Amino acid sequence: MTLDEDLVRALQRDYKSAPITAQERVMLEYVIKLTKDATRIGREDHSQLRAAGFEDMAILQITLIASWFNYINRVADALGVGRA
């Protein structure tokens, strides 16, 4: 979470050019891939996260948090939460 509105806008425009660390960029690439098609996640993805400095517990936490947000957003969408 951040209160830096410029960073939020930069991430919304294009995370690849946003002012974030290489480690954060690797994490976002993993989360995007997980969100689009989790069946495409493999050992090489975990190896890239480890190479970026993430330990196994962090990889688990990243995966759980991203998966939970994906899940809860789909539940909310299915129930019409936020629709008029």
The count of structural domains within the chain is 1
Q: What is the per-residue pLDDT for 47?
A: 98
Q: How far is CA 12 from CA 15, 18, 19, 54, 67, in A?
A: 7, 9, 12, 24, 20
**What domain range is 55 assigned to?**
22-79
Residue 84 covered by a domain: no
**What is the per-residue pLDDT across 41-54, written as a single tens digit (0 to 9) for each?**
999 999 999 999 99
Residue 11 counted as domain residue = no
Prediction pTM value: 0.86
The answer to whether the CB of 61 falls within 8 A of the CB of 55 is: no
Residue 28 has pLDDT above 80, yes or no: yes
